[in-house]
Amino acid sequence: MKTVTLRLPDYLAKTLPAEESSLCEILKLGLKQFRIERAIKRYKKGGVSLAKAAELAGISIREMISIAYAHGLEPKYDESLVESKITPEAAVNL
CATH number at residue 54: 1.10.10
How many domains does the structure of the chain reveal?
1
As a whole number of angstroms, the distance between CA 63 and CA 32 comes to: 13
Is residue 46, in this structure, part of any structural domain at all?
Answer: yes
Residue 6 maps to a domain: no
Residue 41 has pLDDT above 90, yes or no: yes
8: in domain? no
Domain hosting residue 34, numbered range: 18-92
Band of pLDDT at residue 81, cut at 50, 70 and 90 = low
For residue 90, give the 3-state DSSP assignment.
helix
- On whether residue 1 sits in a domain, the answer given is no
Helix, strand, coil percent values for the chain (each to nearest 5): 60, 0, 40
pTM: 0.71
pLDDT by residue (tens digit) across 45-68? 988 999 999 999 999 999 999 999
Tell me if 11 is assigned to some domain: no
Dist. CA 3–CA 37, nearest whole Å: 26
Number of H helices, E strands in the chain: 6, 0
Confidence check: pLDDT of 80 > 60: no
